[in-house]
Structure 1
Amino acid sequence: MTTNATQSRYRIEGMDCASCASKIDTAVRRMPGVSEVSVSVTAGTMTIHHDNTSDLDAIAKKVKGLGYSVAPLTSGRATAPNRTGGEHDPGDPAGHDHDDHDHDHADHKGDDHATPAPADKMEGLHGHDHGPTDGSWWRSKKGRLTIACGAALIAAYAIGQFVPSIASYAFIAAMLVGLIPIARRAIMAAMAGTPFSIEMLMTIAAVGAVFIDAGEEAAAVVFLFLVGELLEGVAARRARASIQALTALVPKTALLEENGQTREVPADSLAVGAIILVRPGDRIPADGVIVSGEGSIDESPVTGESTPVSKGVGANTFAGTVNIDAALRLRVTAAASDNTIARVVKLVEEAQESKAPTERFIDRFSKYYTPGVVVVAALVAIIPPLLFAGQWGEWVYKGLAILLIGCPCALVISTPAAIAASLSSGARRGLLLKGGAVLENIGKVTAIALDKTGTLTAGKPKVTDIIAFDRNEADVLKYASALETGSSHPLAIAILGKATDEKVAVPQVTDAKALGGKGVTASVDGTEVFLGSPKAAGERVPLPAEHQARITALNDEGKTVSVLIIGDTLAGAIAMRDEPRPDALAGLKALTDAGIKTVMLTGDNTRTATAIGKQLGIEVRAELMPEDKQRIVGELKAQGFIVAKVGDGINDAPALAAADVGIAMGGGTDVALETADAAVLHGRVADIAAMIDLSKRTMANIRQNITMSLGLKAVFLVTTVIGITGLWPAILADTGATVLVTMNALRLLRSPTA
């Protein structure tokens, strides 16, 4: 393994509870050269930051010595092309430069994404296996150990019935079946820097019970402890599967086109730029761009959209979505390790490794809490017999019970279990949050600054008005689309899209010419036709006052107007604007109803921004440079607001960095996902409110978990001291609290309406 990197990631098998992560963290953090360790129970991963003095082989052996298997993970991410830096609104009347028209289609090649070499496998010691990661629970080592311990306990009861004289020895033997592996793990953890592990508390309590002639209870307690750990493993497996199940959406094979032939190949072997055929009803095996064909695609597995999306040539497609009704040919744009689903899974796993403030507090608290429990248990066992003539057996028994009650497992897992479930639930709904800290903070937001283009609006202009002056509307659209055929200008695309929707028969043109800064001309059926700005049109033919007034009114609404001249006749005009997203109004209302201040920050001209702002009912700040947006975010924070900035993640980088939480809107590109703290994958404004709601529900769930874990312990602590409960109820209290906390956290995997 290479030792000159500053970060290394590993897959850890057999780690299914909070104490596992804590022991690994403590052990690895003590290794030379290691500066930071992040361990995710739910993702089953570990990331270490280290310098060149670190011996990565020794680190792997240290983790294996604790009883886990270790395999290095190589990065599957590649660098995607950046989007343009500045915010440009195609709906800006001043920004329509017909000189930019390009009547030749450009061939956009896919960017190469290097396919990483598979991670080298490292054989590990499976001495600690809290639960199955694959297959049935009873086939795992922990499952087999629990079954063996239970069988030994039943056998001990049977022996006690038939040969009472050796019953105590039979129960000790049954206890040792489960206790020996637990004690071995406790010793390993102590040697690695975690002397007060849950396993150590369990070992002390079980051995102590034998010395006070409570072997039967000791055996039962060990068995119940193993059952509790097994249940933790099953619950952790369910949480892990909720996000990993996304990878199962991608088909294993694909139909590759080569030299005019089609053959079936493994989907993970597809190279960027390859052409594949996707038949109706098939799942799409890779991220790609449609090169031929048009049809509906069910994107609900990836984006959560309830209705199929109609897509044609040039449209992007996601791996794992379903092609419904037409054969499509796609050009692959991302390798299997870098497709949308792979990126989402990797981002969630990385997010689960970053601890939330509440989680860090609980970790620090437990470091003092567990030794404190040992001290209290010792005092309960010793002080009454020494100072108040209490019975040693009775008070030692109570001290051992307190030791079991004090196990911090439920408390430690209360926060990470809820956060992991929320991160997974959010990812399945297209809401990516990069870690527990972001998940906590976004629920505290009191002001949100949103971009206009591509955030509140779709980022693509659409035809809003067709004005007939001398010709009818159908003729205006027909001639305009004829002149724009082949152009890649956003306004040309809008006109051609409208012509397609209206099923307009577009005539052929000849002698097409782009006139710099003015428009475009061509000959249609022997007649010269011009389409361009109102100013350029006025230089060709006079614009009557009433027509000029109509154009000015459209401009005041933030619309771009192109005027059509056929021969020497003013034929008509077409108005276009980047329209608000369909859910923008409802999404902003959801935010304001939640008491959150909203403001639009845009670099577009005041007229366009004001028109959109009036339509959406949002405060507008326009004609801003990137540093202006950053300044305004700072001003909001100075006023006492907790600010979120929503944008495309590139042109608003300064403002995103200045905000308490940065949120990227878009389709899950590398740029959008890596720039901000969170991302809304399918671009719905309403999803910002959904993200805030998810945060609030998560924090409420964490408070419930902490209350349950500490509350149960407090109740059983009192009942144990006054003699009502003993060892059995103590371990049931710990195991029960852990299971309750985990199952309560898993409720977050469901949708809010479930």
Structure 2
Amino acid sequence: MQATSKQLPKSTARQGTGQQPRAPKPRRFDPLAMLSNPEMQAALGSGLLMLIAWAASGWSEVLSVILYVISYTVGGWIKAKEGVETLVKERDLDVNLLMIAAALGAAAIGYWNEGAMLIFIFAMSGALESYTMERSKKDISALMALKPATAIRIEQGAMSEVPIDQLAVGDLLLIRPGELIPADGKVCRGESSVNQASITGESLPVEKAEGSEVFAGTVNGEGPLYIEVTTSAENTLFAKIIRMVEEAETEVPDSQRFIKRLESVYARVVVIATAALIVLPPFVLDWSWSNTFYKAMVFLVVASPCALVSSIMPAMLSAISKSARKGILFKGGVHLENMAKVKVVAFDKTGTLTEGVPQVTDLIAGEGYSREELLAVSASIEKLSSHPLAEAVVRLAEEEQVELYSTEENKSVTGWGIEGRIDGRLWRIGRSDMLDEQTPAEAAGHAQWTAVREQLESEGKTVSLILEEERIAGMIALQDTVRPQAAAAVQKLQRLGVKVAMLTGDRKAAAGVMAGKTGVDLVFADLLPEDKVTRIKELRGQYGQVVMVGDGVNDAPALATATVGIGMGMKGSGAALEIADVVLMNDNIEEIASTIELARRTQRIVKQNMIFAVTVIATLMLSNFLQGIALPFGVVGHEGSTILVILNGLRLLR
């Protein structure tokens, strides 16, 4: 049922039974917010108890030890629990158990304060990492809170409030000013501005009027809107984004998997080495048992890979979070990692480098016909067709307010075009291939039209003939328009040293014209969907990492074949969005270059973190054996480096 056929109430007065949820206020960063993190509360509590225990040591040793035990428990309980779970469930050692063992070892030889300091700083670094990841995930999935529970549905002129899961395609809804839009749909009455930042990342509201598309999870502005639901609740763009967020939270990049495997092996090596350091030196080097145990505990502290383990995920999640705020959704850190290595970005042409909406560029009338007459005839016959070229002709007639004719016997001609009768005369509109199938005599008579067609096609335009009976009455040329930002997007990628390819099913002439307008490096034309897959494989073989950008169902196989597939979120097909690894929610292809820059910057920060972490660990280990370092210095040096690598990763949130 068409939206315009529904009965619309004349009043927007509230008739529902409940209050429609309002848009939440923008979430601002609050430094005090981290205090609500349970791990941070435990870490601070542990530190406070450590200070009280240290102060009490001067007048009551027993009370001091009791307070230290409580400090150990408060600060180390969460990490000890994680370590035990890893040991029991996975039969593996991790850095949590190493730190707890080192703290207990320090306490065993009387260094209660040093052990408490280790627990406190270790708990603090863990809380900071936990808070970083939690905040990054909130930045990605904050829009999940923009899910209204109910909607105001209009049936037979009456309003009722219903749960959104009861909405069906075709339902008519009222969206009051300031309310969240509960479903994807089209405006059938009203005008307003809509804040789409939660979906597209656009900072400014977008004006909506009759016929405009709106999305679930966006916020209506000052005017009431009546919308017709066009998509079921589980298939809305909003629902797809939520699924992407859930995937992004569970997928782990290859570098993090490597560090996780390394941590397991490394932890075993550290435990074995610590045991050897406790047992061997008294016999081999004639050290005292207390001195040997002390150095072993220092080694256990400084050799643990805390900083190395924290080098990757905080930085990755910060980058993914920053991208999400700009309307670029990654389905996991592995795709961000791969983006940093990209050598070629391949664009589908239609709907990606171009708007995907053809426009009439030329309407050439033959002798005895006027341009207005041919436009009226063409639009009258094409108005019943849903073909994009037909829609372009009808759209032009509407723009020029041309009065249409009444037609009879309209029908499509398979493989050629469409035909219909106007005042008893047969008119046909279709492909210009018939000019290639003429007899020599006919070709001579139509030489002028053939020359015009060749000129138009050399400009990358699609040409259709207009025939009255068997006579050529005119020609229509149509062309897809280049996205305004396409050339700039290509140039930005080229400045990064990335080659840009264009894949299209269009003919070489049309592809060449489009390549000239956008400045791409490589052009592949006359491609079927399977041909695009072949080209992507060839590009990967020749250059390495390849990104594919597309929006249609026919792009889905190529998106899956590329190292990273990028789908267009606004106009992209469901198949393209499901298969894509990254989604441009605002369809702004200029952001691809900045995303590659962000990915490369993330990799640089990860490398900085890893080099710094390994250097600190190696320096502290050598110092412990060659010169000897105090346990407090080892604690501060090791755990301080962990906090520094986490803060370094947080820089990406700026």
TM-score normalised by the chain length of structure 2 = 0.81
Whether 2:519 is the aligned partner of 1:617: answer yes
- Identical aligned residues as a percent: 35
Closer, same or farther in 2 for the Cα pair 1:656/1:150, shift >3 Å?
A: closer
Task: Identify the range of structure 1 (652-661 vs 227-236) with the bigger mean alpha-carbon deviation.
Answer: 652-661
Q: Distance in 2 between matches of 1:355 and 1:182?
A: 21
Q: What RMSD in Å do the two structures reach over aligned CA positions? A: 4.0
- 1:188 shift after superposition: 4.3
Whether 2:507 is the aligned partner of 1:643: answer no
- 1:201 shift after superposition: 1.8
- 1:468 shift after superposition: 6.5
Q: Match for residue 156 of structure 2?
A: 259
- 1:362 shift after superposition: 1.2
Residue 462 of structure 2, aligned match among 527, 545, 560: 560
Q: Match for residue 716 of structure 1?
A: 620
Whether 2:259 is the aligned partner of 1:362: answer yes
Q: Distance in 1 between matches of 2:383 and 2:191?
A: 19
Whether 2:633 is the aligned partner of 1:729: answer yes
- 1:325 shift after superposition: 6.4
Q: Which amino acid aligns with 1:688?
A: I
Please list every run of 5 or more consecutive structure 2 residues that lacks an aligned counterpart in the other structure.
Answer: 6-31, 439-443
Q: Distance in 1 between matches of 2:81 and 2:535?
A: 59
- 1:449 shift after superposition: 3.4
| Structure 1 residues 106-505: aligned runs within 5 Å | 138=35, 141-143=38-40, 145-163=42-60, 167-168=64-65, 170-172=67-69, 174-179=71-76, 183=80, 186-267=83-164, 270-293=167-190, 297-306=194-203, 308-309=205-206, 315-324=212-221, 327-467=224-364, 480-500=378-398, 502=399, 504-505=400-401
Closer, same or farther in 2 for the Cα pair 1:337/1:173, shift >3 Å?
A: same
Q: Match for residue 511 of structure 1?
A: 407
1:647-674: per-residue Cα shift (whole Å, max 9, x none)?
3463245544444333334535431122
Residue 598 of structure 2, aligned match among 689, 694, 697: 694
- 1:238 shift after superposition: 0.9
- 1:705 shift after superposition: 1.9
Residues 129 and 310 in structure 2, CA contact (< 8 A), matched pair in contact too: no
- Partner-residue secondary structure (3-state), 2:512: helix
Matched residue pairs, number? 616
Task: Identify the range of structure 1 (352-361 vs 143-152) with the bigger mean alpha-carbon deviation.
Answer: 143-152
Closer, same or farther in 2 for the Cα pair 1:194/1:743, shift >3 Å?
A: farther
Q: Distance in 1 between matches of 2:540 and 2:331?
A: 22
Please list every run of 5 or more consecutive structure 1 residues that lacks an aligned counterpart in the other structure.
Answer: 1-103, 109-134
Closer, same or farther in 2 for the Cα pair 1:327/1:107, shift >3 Å?
A: closer
Q: Distance in 2 between matches of 1:314 and 1:481?
A: 20
Q: Distance in 1 between matches of 2:564 and 2:173?
A: 40
Q: Distance in 2 between matches of 1:597 and 1:365?
A: 36
Q: Which amino acid aligns with 2:511?
A: A
- Partner-residue secondary structure (3-state), 1:510: coil
Closer, same or farther in 2 for the Cα pair 1:382/1:297, shift >3 Å?
A: same
- Partner-residue secondary structure (3-state), 1:624: coil
Residue 628 of structure 1, aligned match among 531, 553, 576: 531
Q: Match for residue 24 of structure 1?
A: none
- 1:242 shift after superposition: 0.8
1:373-400: per-residue Cα shift (whole Å, max 9, x none)?
2233344444444322334333322321
- 1:703 shift after superposition: 0.8
- Partner-residue secondary structure (3-state), 2:355: strand
Closer, same or farther in 2 for the Cα pair 1:184/1:306, shift >3 Å?
A: closer
Task: Point out the structure with the larger helix share.
Answer: 2
1:460-513: per-residue Cα shift (whole Å, max 9, x none)?
21122355777876676566545544542312322333345x4x3342532344
- 1:708 shift after superposition: 2.7
Whether 2:507 is the aligned partner of 1:605: answer yes
Q: Distance in 2 between matches of 1:620 and 1:290?
A: 39
Q: Distance in 1 between matches of 2:598 and 2:150?
A: 36
Q: Match for residue 123 of structure 1?
A: none
1:386-445: per-residue Cα shift (whole Å, max 9, x none)?
322334333322321221223323322322222233333333433343333332223323
1:683-734: per-residue Cα shift (whole Å, max 9, x none)?
3333333343232222112112212322332333344445564333333334
- Partner-residue secondary structure (3-state), 2:182: coil
- 1:585 shift after superposition: 1.7
Closer, same or farther in 2 for the Cα pair 1:492/1:714, shift >3 Å?
A: same
Closer, same or farther in 2 for the Cα pair 1:412/1:669, shift >3 Å?
A: farther
Q: Distance in 1 between matches of 2:222 and 2:68?
A: 66
